[in-house]
Structure 1
Amino acid sequence: MHQLLNRKYLISFFYIIVCVIGIAVWRVLPIESTPELNLPSVTVNYNWGSTSPEIMEMEITREVEREANRLRDVTDIRSITQEGRSSVTITFRKDAPVDYRVLELREYLFTLDENLPESISPPSISRQVPEELEDQQTFIVYTLNGDMAPRELLEYTRTNIRPKLLSIEGLAEVAIRGVQDPALMIEFDIDQVERFNLSPRQILMQVREQLSWRSAGFVEEGISRYSLIIPPKFKSIADIAGLKIELPGSRKQLVLDDFAEISVQDYPAKTIKRINGDPALTIEFVKESGADAFTLAENVLTAMDEVEALLPEELSLMLTVDSTEELRQQFDDLQLQAIFSGILVFFVVILFIRKLRAPFVIMGSVAFSVLLSLIVLYLMGYSLNIITLAGITVALGMLIDNAVVVFEHLNPGLPKEKSDRISHITKEIGNSVVPVLGSTFTTVGIFVPLLFALDELRIFLVPLAVALTVTLVCSVLIAFTWIPYSLVWLTPKISEQKKTSRVSKWVNRWLMKSFLLKSKLRWVLPVILIGAIGIPLFAIEEPDWDAEEGTVWPEFTQVYFDNRDAIDGWIGGLSKKFSEETYFGSPWSRNNQQTVSVYIRSPQGTPLSEIDKIVQNYEKIVDPYAHAFTYYEANISEYFGARILFVVDPDFVFRSEPYQFYAEAQYLGARTGNFATSVQGLNIPGISTGFGGGSSNHSIRLQGYSYDELLNLAKDLERRPKTSRRVREVDINSSYYSRRDDFQQYILRLSEERILANDLNRREVISTLMLDLNPENTVGRVEFGGQEMYLIGRSERDKAFEEDMMNRTRQFGEVNFNISRIGEVVQEGGLNEIRRTNQSYERTVSVDYLGNYRMGREFIESVVETTEVPVGAKIEFGRGFFGFGSDDSSRNFIFVALLSLLSVWMIVSALLESVKYPIFVIMA
């Protein structure tokens, strides 16, 4: 240290370099909302119309899992199958080359797609991110709406907006969502098709062939080879209508126009999005990894302003999501915090140290520590984001601590001459090593056990730990170099110390008396302190005493929860007051934007058009009050119903129009039958109708490798509890994860004997029925009219009723028949979703018991104990008292917490050369 302090130019140039490079890095360091955090897992998604979960699981999910099992480094495969949707999540080892495994998976799925029906959409493969960061992955989203047909809106966006945006540097993709490609629709006259014994599917394949680019071989010219490609033959609807169709077993021909109508229509939608009553779509901007979020956001917003200026009058563009707004706010808050912290530190240091040079030396140490940490983070490949910023922000307080500790050890008794100062600092600096290293390494040591945390936690906690550790280590380096350097070479000669003033003596005397009083009242002060701060029991959420699986709280605690409003006021202290009146309570936690929200849950199987009619009723009653709302947005789906959001104009919050509409919306919701409706908003109690009341249910979870065996076990469990008159209902199709347990499916059971007796062909019968039942009989995409679209064949009938389908006379060759003669349609309940983990199925049986929870639990336990469980299956019911630690995440949390305590104890023991004293540090 003595030789280092004598080399003032070396230290000076070092800090000049840190300052210059730090400022340069600050200007080029990428700024992102969230870091690029991908778990070692991928998710494969398939969509297939309204296909039932059982068929989806059998035809798609199982096949995808079979292909996934061929991959190397796979540790876990989980799947969720719902109506028309299949999702398979594949988890790999931590150090597996996931990108290469994804390439292999794409090859396997490409082979699989050749054997799947054409109506199944191509698979999407996405990397999984932690759930805590999923809602922050979206970068920028705009909504485009207007008085224009959905397919026209889509074509306008693709032609006039998207090409202008793709050239922006740092932009990975501009995705258009909410409107699907149009469809080339061929509507068959079923009577004519059956009369001439035609196959609609073969006709669709002929049309598809004439609308496809086809290879015609190649020609060679010298050393070059040129492929020959024939463009699509049909250019217009008239060309398609003139397609000649040969009649089976005859030389006669018909043209397609004789028994079908051809048109370009919107694709049969499952979802609808409208803004202010007009069709809408979303334009989503996807950022490239590592691109600077601020710069890219400014370029995107500028480009969209130019686009908006050129829009037709009937179109409207609105920014709905800008993830950089929160990031900008965080940077503004960080700057504001730095300013206030600097001012506060300045006055506090002046007050207690009473040296004018102290705040400048200490703030210099903090500034250089931050700049050096930015340089190190940049060299390590990290960006500035909400996680690394959190680490730096947490470390700021300790940067000041380290600087103050070192300064206070070196500044007292600082000699006048520089040579004497070097000797003084060399002698005294050793006394500050233990407290500085102790506080720094114990903080760093807490984060070391995170290396043993679960992947979902470690993947985004490690960047936090790295940022904090780098900043603290840099602060130690700066504190032990900058402060001695500044005290030796940047501090002027010290004048003679004046005699201690009378005020100073009075302050010292008062402090000594206060310390003596504190020593005498050492057992009273903690009680007073706890009483003032309060016991934060109010932060505990009230347990659900009627929950299906019970509660971890013993029954005697219910006395407190029943009277907590009166008790918390006495024992909550300042903590409760802070919680209610600052950040956690009013007014900070409230959203200043007033809204009215309407949620409509439709019965399963409700056509989208029927849900849309109800939504249009709300759009109709809001029309007289439209000027009082900034906008209103409707999202309609066959899967869940509809959600409508009305955003109140701030100028009308204290006027009557929004509240008049709110009353009319509640009245309309109360009058809407067969649908569950909720109308809420404006900080006024709303209404909810049709959702049903609460009930005390008990859930039994089943696991097994055979779907049929698990179903039989569930049916056995359904039969056994019904022997008790207290059991009101047993649902074997309940879902542990979803509230919608009303899934119903129609099953057409054909009799093979009757089919053969009527001289019919099963395949052709089903092919004819598909035109009546499925509006999405697509054979893939074709190119027509200069754009890609789906080719769909269906019946000219818009709706098919069970009675008409079963009893209508059909013709197959020379045979007349109806479906009721060869089969029947049965309605059955089914699973809303099928879950499987490593090929093991999960199923939930829900029992509604009329009695208190304990009686119901004991009864079901007795039923479970007497139930015979097949080999490979198991039954889970209930959980232990205070069931914490029963799952992997809880056990891992306990393990990491104990490792953190052990790490701190070891570090403090090594610094203090004591086993006993670190215990006091940990307790503190």
Structure 2
Amino acid sequence: MLSFRLQPSAGLASFTITSTWGSTSAIIVEGQLTSQLEAAINTLKGIKNISSVSSPGYSKIDIEIDKYTDPNQLRLEMSAVIRRLYPSLPVGVSYPSINLSTPDEEDEKPLLIYTLFGSHDSEILQEYVENYLKTGLALIAGIEKIIVYGGVGNEWQVIYQPETINRLSITPEDITQALKLFFHHQPIGHVIEYEQGENRRTEKKMSVKLALQSSMNIQWENIPVKKAGNRIIYLGEIARIERVKQEANSYFRVNGKNAINLVIYPEKGSNALKLATLIRGKIIQMKSVLPDAYVLETSYDSTEYVSNELSKIYKRTLLTFFILMVFVFLVSLSFRYVLLIVLSLFTNLSLSFIFYYLLGIEIHLYSLAGITVSLGLIIDNSIVMTDHLIYRKNLKVYTALLASTLTTMVSLIVVWFLPEELRLNLWDFALIIVVNLSVSLAVSLFYIPALLKMMPMNMGKQIKKRRRRGMIVWMNSYYAAFITFLLRYRTAAILVLVLAFGLPVFMLPNKIQSEGMWPNIYNRTLGSEWYTDHLKTHVNKYLGGSLRLFSYYVFENSYYTKAEETKLFVQASMPKGATIGQLNKVFVEMEKFVAQYDDQIQYYSKVHSPQYAEMTILFNDNTSDNIFPYILKSRLIARSIDLGGVNWNIYGVGKGFSINTGVNEMINFKVAMYGFNFDELEAQAKKLQAKLEMHPRVKKVNISGG
């Protein structure tokens, strides 16, 4: 079965190497840990780029590899290098971890999010989701993982009196050790299972451990702690045990509401549309047996955007096909002729889809665009072969058809020379056009002649009867008058044509920074202050023509963006030492600000740690492609300035942020400074910060890096 996706899954793998070092300062981490790892890894072949970030107690190195490198082989080489280097690293550094990331993993996003509301406690709701909803959905093929957010569990707290344990010569470590021994899972052996295959016998070994059945029925007071003389001291004698709510280690909210959220992630390469349909069907079954006090709602559905985009492409493809068939009918005035073209096109696409499957081509927005583009070329080949067979009764035109089609196919080789990101995205687009045109050649040579034998047509006499000589003569007379007028005033016609296209005078520099006769002449004339202030604007406007308009408003403002849903991301972090509760409190304030637009947006928030929280804002159909995403982004940036003590990163993706709306949004600029001496680099950055803050239009300047 063909895979339907929004984006191509092809891409280059990358590595991330992370390591921790207690609470060591960022400067020391950079000098004694990160730089050492970078220098060692950089000696390996196949590495395209290395970048790193050193923060207090943490080192992270991002590695990009080239397209010819085997990621698994490079990972083995990295492991060997790190194994040799680790003994020479400072004491206290954790062993560096190597993580391989693929494009799918980098773009990992939830497929569906369901929210459960109820009158019961969050612990009971979470238990219901874990035991019933999650278990039922886990049986569906294509689901990679299901994560439950929102519930806060319980924990046991052992509260002791220092005076009591000191009198009995018991330390807190003794209590901890007693609890560890009591809850220790003791291995008691192995179970070996043999399976006899066709050629060999395989052995499976499973470890058997002795453990408590349930922690709910534990008699905490009877846990032995220590032996004092001939007496055993039990936990109940020196402490009291209470069951309390756990402190939250993460937060997840949908539209600012705390609830139990079921987040479903698809497997890589799975058909997201089909998988979402299966999940929805299962959820409908589960809803029918939900307790009366529970409500299960769909909070987020990523396939809505994919379905809408595919629907647009289907409609455009059908419209393209309809327009082409209308032109074919107007030219031929024969329903049999149109039917022949339709049958040849249907056969062509049916055979092409078989080759898509055999070649492993994915169906996504780019490949569907390739199918739409190739429709006209396919129909053109069918019409040329059909007309030649009707009028000439031979296949001699096939040579010319083959040459023209191969020329079109060869022209697509330019995709191979595009930058890596563009090439990977457009590869399926080009491959689909090549497959469609190749199949059209076979259809034109074998299928259309056979079809004409079954559906004979004699178009010659019909066309002669349909000639409208009066219309042709009338059109020719006006065309001849127009040509005569242009020839009479040929000089003016050529001048108007050149000025309409435009002269590249707007590309001339203000000054030429070199010495010599010609640079001096240019600087005294076209580069003079008088010409720049008084004439240059008018000259560019009237002589630049459409070329100037295209350069200013299309080319210079255009850039490559992925075809993705319009989203706004709000990311926040706090300095080391802050708690997750503090960051969550600030993030709640941002959510309250966003909530005033809840009729135009949908949003969900994740607070993972004091150093990272993210809000994803989705726009409805009425606001995703207009200026509202820009307006909201500017207002969020202004609001973030009022919430001090937090580092904010606010950015948008998708079509809503790639169109030229003319909105003057609040803009954040970044200046990167590079150097080998960190202290000197930091000093220079602070000097630049002081100068920038003196500017009246600069509101805030932050320094970060390492």
The two structures have a TM-score, normalised by structure 1, of 0.53
Question: Are 2:238 and 1:258 equivalent residues in the alignment?
Answer: yes
Structure 2 residue aligned with 1:31: 4
Q: Specify the code of the residue in structure 2 equivalent to 1:475.
A: S
Stretch moving more, 59-68 or 137-146: 59-68
Question: Are 2:182 and 1:210 equivalent residues in the alignment?
Answer: yes
8 Å CA contact 2:160, 2:238 repeated in 1: no
Please state how far the C-alpha of 1:337 moved relative to its aligned partner.
Answer: 1.9
Output the CA distance in 1 between the equivalents of 2:320 and 2:397: 28
1:573-622: CA deviations, max 9, x gaps? 9988xx99xxx9xxxx9x999x9x99887666444434444566688899
Structure 1 residue aligned with 2:143: 171
Which of 231, 236, 245 is the aligned partner of 2:211? 231
Output the CA distance in 2 between the equivalents of 1:103 and 1:493: 70
8 Å CA contact 2:317, 2:372 repeated in 1: no
8 Å CA contact 1:43, 1:128 repeated in 2: no
Please state how far the C-alpha of 1:336 moved relative to its aligned partner.
Answer: 1.5
Question: Are 2:453 and 1:473 equivalent residues in the alignment?
Answer: no
Which of 88, 103, 108 is the aligned partner of 1:129? 103
Structure 1 residue matching 2:187: 3-state secondary structure? strand
1:21-58: CA deviations, max 9, x gaps? xxxxxxx4333334443524344667999987568779
Q: Alpha carbons of 1:610 and 1:160: their partners in 2 closer, same or farther (altered >3 Å)? A: same
Q: Alpha carbons of 1:512 and 1:626: their partners in 2 closer, same or farther (altered >3 Å)? A: closer
Output the CA distance in 1 between the equivalents of 2:475 and 2:493: 22
Structure 2 residue aligned with 1:156: 128
Question: Are 2:348 and 1:369 equivalent residues in the alignment?
Answer: yes
8 Å CA contact 2:150, 2:261 repeated in 1: yes
Structure 1 residue matching 2:252: 3-state secondary structure? strand
Map 1:873-892 onto structure 2 (within 5 A).
none
Map 1:281-680 onto structure 2 (within 5 A).
282-311=261-290, 316-351=295-330, 359-406=338-385, 410=388, 414-415=390-391, 421-422=392-393, 425-438=394-407, 440-449=408-417, 453-454=419-420, 456-486=421-451, 490-494=455-459, 496=461, 497-498=464-465, 501-511=469-479, 514=482, 605-613=577-585, 635-636=606-607, 638-639=610-611
8 Å CA contact 1:666, 1:687 repeated in 2: no
8 Å CA contact 2:174, 2:225 repeated in 1: no
Q: Alpha carbons of 1:48 and 1:432: their partners in 2 closer, same or farther (altered >3 Å)? A: same
Please state how far the C-alpha of 1:300 moved relative to its aligned partner.
Answer: 0.6
Output the CA distance in 2 between the equivalents of 1:324 and 1:537: 49
1:131-160: CA deviations, max 9, x gaps? xx9557543333446666665554332212
Output the CA distance in 1 between the equivalents of 2:437 and 2:621: 48
Q: Alpha carbons of 1:169 and 1:111: their partners in 2 closer, same or farther (altered >3 Å)? A: farther
Please state how far the C-alpha of 1:387 moved relative to its aligned partner.
Answer: 3.4
Which of 237, 250, 253 is the aligned partner of 1:274? 253
Structure 2 residue aligned with 1:542: none
Identify which of structures 1 and 2 has the higher relative contact order when contacts are C-alpha pairs closer than 8 Å and 6+ apart.
1
Output the CA distance in 2 between the equivalents of 1:252 and 1:229: 27
Q: Specify the code of the residue in structure 1 equivalent to 2:183.
A: L
1:271-314: CA deviations, max 9, x gaps? 42234664345433333345433322111112223334544566
Q: Alpha carbons of 1:242 and 1:531: their partners in 2 closer, same or farther (altered >3 Å)? A: farther
Q: Alpha carbons of 1:95 and 1:151: their partners in 2 closer, same or farther (altered >3 Å)? A: farther
Q: Specify the code of the residue in structure 1 equivalent to 2:281.
A: T
Q: Specify the code of the residue in structure 1 equivalent to 2:674.
A: R
Output the CA distance in 1 between the equivalents of 2:190 and 2:320: 75
Structure 2 residue aligned with 1:864: none
Please state how far the C-alpha of 1:162 moved relative to its aligned partner.
Answer: 0.9
1:856-884: CA deviations, max 9, x gaps? xxxxxxxxxxxxxxxxxxxxxxxxxxxxx
Q: Specify the code of the residue in structure 2 equivalent to 1:609.
A: G
1:493-535: CA deviations, max 9, x gaps? 3464347632233334444555666677777668767877899
Structure 2 residue matching 1:701: 3-state secondary structure? coil
Please state how far the C-alpha of 1:244 moved relative to its aligned partner.
Answer: 0.6
8 Å CA contact 1:242, 1:257 repeated in 2: no
Output the CA distance in 2 between the equivalents of 1:218 and 1:201: 32
Please state how far the C-alpha of 1:340 moved relative to its aligned partner.
Answer: 1.6
Structure 2 residue aligned with 1:847: none
Output the CA distance in 2 between the equivalents of 1:572 and 1:340: 31
Q: Alpha carbons of 1:521 and 1:139: their partners in 2 closer, same or farther (altered >3 Å)? A: farther
Structure 1 residue aligned with 2:678: 714
Structure 2 residue aligned with 1:754: none
**RMSD, aligned CA:** 6.5
Output the CA distance in 2 between the equivalents of 1:303 and 1:117: 53
8 Å CA contact 1:139, 1:322 repeated in 2: yes
Please state how far the C-alpha of 1:441 moved relative to its aligned partner.
Answer: 3.2
Output the CA distance in 2 between the equivalents of 1:303 and 1:62: 52
Output the CA distance in 1 between the equivalents of 2:131 and 2:99: 27
Stretch moving more, 355-364 or 520-529: 520-529
Structure 2 residue matching 1:142: 3-state secondary structure? strand
Output the CA distance in 2 between the equivalents of 1:555 and 1:198: 90
Output the CA distance in 1 between the equivalents of 2:66 and 2:8: 21
Q: Alpha carbons of 1:274 and 1:367: their partners in 2 closer, same or farther (altered >3 Å)? A: same
1:852-910: CA deviations, max 9, x gaps? xxxxxxxxxxxxxxxxxxxxxxxxxxxxxxxxxxxxxxxxxxxxxxxxxxxxxxxxxxx
1:646-703: CA deviations, max 9, x gaps? 99999xxxxxxxxxxxxx999999986767899999x9x9999xx9x989x6x5312x
8 Å CA contact 1:600, 1:678 repeated in 2: yes
Please state how far the C-alpha of 1:214 moved relative to its aligned partner.
Answer: 1.2
Structure 2 residue matching 1:700: 3-state secondary structure? coil
Q: Specify the code of the residue in structure 1 equivalent to 2:347.
A: F
Output the CA distance in 2 between the equivalents of 1:313 and 1:124: 48
Structure 2 residue aligned with 1:141: 113
Q: Alpha carbons of 1:146 and 1:134: their partners in 2 closer, same or farther (altered >3 Å)? A: farther
Structure 2 residue matching 1:426: 3-state secondary structure? coil
8 Å CA contact 2:175, 2:225 repeated in 1: no
Output the CA distance in 1 between the equivalents of 2:260 and 2:504: 47
Structure 2 residue matching 1:173: 3-state secondary structure? strand
Structure 1 residue matching 2:139: 3-state secondary structure? coil
Please state how far the C-alpha of 1:491 moved relative to its aligned partner.
Answer: 3.3
Q: Specify the code of the residue in structure 1 equivalent to 2:679.
A: K
Output the CA distance in 2 between the equivalents of 1:140 and 1:401: 43
1:687-725: CA deviations, max 9, x gaps? 99xx9x989x6x5312xxxxxxx5xx2334567899xxx
Output the CA distance in 2 between the equivalents of 1:383 and 1:137: 19
Q: Alpha carbons of 1:634 and 1:324: their partners in 2 closer, same or farther (altered >3 Å)? A: closer
Structure 2 residue matching 1:397: 3-state secondary structure? helix
Q: Alpha carbons of 1:49 and 1:458: their partners in 2 closer, same or farther (altered >3 Å)? A: farther
How much identity, in percent, do the aligned residues show? 21
Output the CA distance in 2 between the equivalents of 1:209 and 1:117: 30
Q: Structure 1, unaligned stretches of length 5 or more?
A: 1-27, 416-420, 539-553, 651-663, 703-709, 732-738, 744-831, 834-924
8 Å CA contact 2:112, 2:264 repeated in 1: yes
Q: Work out the number of aligned pairs and report it.
A: 636
Output the CA distance in 2 between the equivalents of 1:257 and 1:275: 46
